Structure 1
Amino acid sequence: MGDVSSCSTLCPLTSLLLLIQLPTGGPTEGFFVAGPSDPIVAVLGGDTVLPCHVFPPISAEDMELRWLRSKSSEAVFIYQNRVKQDEGQMARYAGRTSLVSDFLAQEEAAVRIQRVQVSDNGLYTCFFRKGGFYKGASLELKVAGVGSAPQVRITGPEEDGVRVVCTASGWFPKPQVQWRDLSGEKFLAFSEAHSQDAEGLFSVEVALVVRDSSAGNVTCSVLNTVLGQEKAMAIFIPEPFFPQASPWKLAFSVSLTVLMALLLGAGYYTMREHFRKLLVMREKENLRLVKEQDWWMEEEVLKDTDELRTELGWRKSTYLAAWRKAQLYADWQKEKFQACE
């Protein structure tokens, strides 16, 4: 019976280690462990329970109980010697897990996980050991969260229609987004983009080009497929927004052409006035420079004239002084010669 009781749900390495450490006991000690047949659904931020049943019905109070993550075989919760064992537990489950002790005497054991996170989503294995006999079963936890209500806005004309965009955030798992018209018919052609934040929550942006001017209201709905919960928002698109229903494109083109012509004319006039003002300023500046140059030349001429007058006066005074000396000398000579006679 030891071969029959091998845990098919554990990975090969874990099974090997368990077989080495825990040799199977005799047929009288045998039991089976079963997990829920359907996935367990947990809401983000809430609490959930991971139960496993023992067959035939026996108490699990004196058993060693372990809940592991199936992919990594790391411990989520360990119960041994009738107490919780913290050693070996994954860090992200510390302080968030506890044993539902009320079930132990009812051939059932369950672990409660508090404050459910996106990282809790996935497969688990519950492992039961009594004496030298062990058995395990697998169970799946589906984490789900409903995020913000969708926000819908019109972004403008595009491809002979009107482009509308729907955005929502904080959803898990990736939500399903649908566009519907007033009659409930789905729009099939739209673009969709998703992203995940650091906590693993999804944001979505979905764009739709509405080409039917009679569509009226369009509704964007965001659905959490796990919880079956949906949030929606509708927006009304006025008929004049559509190019088929109004000559807005032609009017826009004509208006744009006229506006461009006016802008060009205003620009030309402004440039012409600017150049004219520059020319007048340059002429004024040239005239000022000419006047300033004439003034300096006149000042230089006056200065040279004054210098010439000064030099001429000096020369004249020097000449007169020399002439007077010559006259005096002549008179002196004449007096001297007369005295000698």
Structure 2
Amino acid sequence: MKTYASERHPEIINALFSGQSEETDLSHTIKAMTCDDVVLPCHVSPPGDQSLASVEWGRPDLMPRFVYVWYNQREYLSDQNTAYRGRTSLFHDKLKDGDVSLKLSNVTHSDNGKYRCYSPRDKTEYFVELLVGSVSPPGFSLGGLDKSNSGVKLDCSSAGWFPEPEMFWLDGEGSIMSAGAAEKIRSPDGLYTVSSRVTVEKRHNNNITCRVQQKDINQTRETHFYVPGRKM
């Protein structure tokens, strides 16, 4: 049941979910990609009776900080940060077991941050970090000819990455090729574009790979290009 009761009693949320609490160091990171639905885990001592379950999910860096509040078998949404409207819910059938995990739908980069799960009954808080990433496949283009060694210059670029990625080149044997440092540009929306150039000599087995990876979110994208060898 949704309620906007705090519009009539604006002190209810702050009174219930403030005061001294015991911080439990169980923080860990949940990783997701944009548009995913995620579950931020949190377990408190089982209330036995579902009607006694209560929890505040918040982000200390936001104002208002409230992401989701459940108390007295009701959602309190009037103080909820508007960025989370329509995207948050609990698993009501698990509340009696102390499972107050938060489901957050259709995540975006603006959801990145540390979330606080606070139980007013236990006066205990837990923290969960959310990391939302995004990727895109790299693209090749021919940058020109290198007449000094009869080679070709290849350009590779990829946009829309988060967090900051790495780019490198691989030859036909899978070995990393020597290339200049990749150029990285961060756009106003926080996403990264990465680009690099390599010169490839014309010889046999010139199957070239441009690879972009982000280890924090365990994502890799690559594209392949074949450079014909010299004609004998």
TM > 0.5 fold call: yes
Q: Larger radius of gyration, structure 1 or 2?
A: 1
Letter in 1 for 2:56: R
Deviations 1:195-250 (A, max 9, x none): 3445433322222233575561211012232443322111122345xxxx99xxxx
TM-score of the pair, normalised by structure 2: 0.78
- Cα distance in structure 1, aligned partners of 2:91 and 2:134: 24
More strand by share: 2
Structure 2 residue aligned with 1:85: 76
Structure 2 gap ranges (5+)? 1-13
Distance, in Å, in 1 between the alignment partners of 2:130 and 2:17 is 29
Cα offset, 1:78, TM superposition: 1.4
Work out the number of aligned pairs and report it.
Answer: 215
| Runs of 4+ that moved beyond 4 A | 17-21, 32-37, 211-215
Q: Indicate how the Cα distance of structure 1 residues 52 and 185 shifts in structure 2: closer, same or farther if over 3 A, else same.
A: same
Alpha-carbon distance in structure 1 between the residues aligned to 2:217 and 2:58: 25
CA RMSD across the alignment: 3.1
Give the alignment of 1:82-121 within 5 angstroms. 82-121=73-112
1:116 Cα offset (Å) = 0.5
Sort the Cα spacing of 1:39 and 1:188 in 2 relative to 1 into closer, same or farther, 3 A: farther
1:169/1:120 Cα in 2 relative to 1: closer, same or farther (>3 Å)?
same
Alignment identity in percent?
Answer: 28
Which one of the candidate residues 124, 142, 146 is aligned to 2:115? 124
User: 2:47: which partner in 1?
Assistant: 58
Residue 156 of structure 1: aligned partner? 144
Please state if 1:135 is matched with 2:124. yes
Once the two structures are superposed, residues 245-303 of structure 1 have per-residue CA deviations (whole angstroms, 9 ceiling, x without a partner) of 99xxxxxxxxxxxxxxxxxxxxxxxxxxxxxxxxxxxxxxxxxxxxxxxxxxxxxxxxx
| Whole-Å separation in 1 of the counterparts to 2:128 and 2:51 | 21
1:150-299, aligned counterparts within 5 Å? 150-158=138-146, 160=148, 161-197=151-187, 199-211=189-201, 213=203, 216-240=206-230
Unaligned runs of 5+ in 1: 1-16, 25-31, 247-341
The CA distance in 1 between the partners of 2:51 and 2:165, in whole Å, is 42
What residue is the counterpart of 1:48 in the other structure? 38
What is the TM-score when the length of structure 1 is the normalising length? 0.55
> Quick one: distance in 1 between partners of 2:125 and 2:15?
11
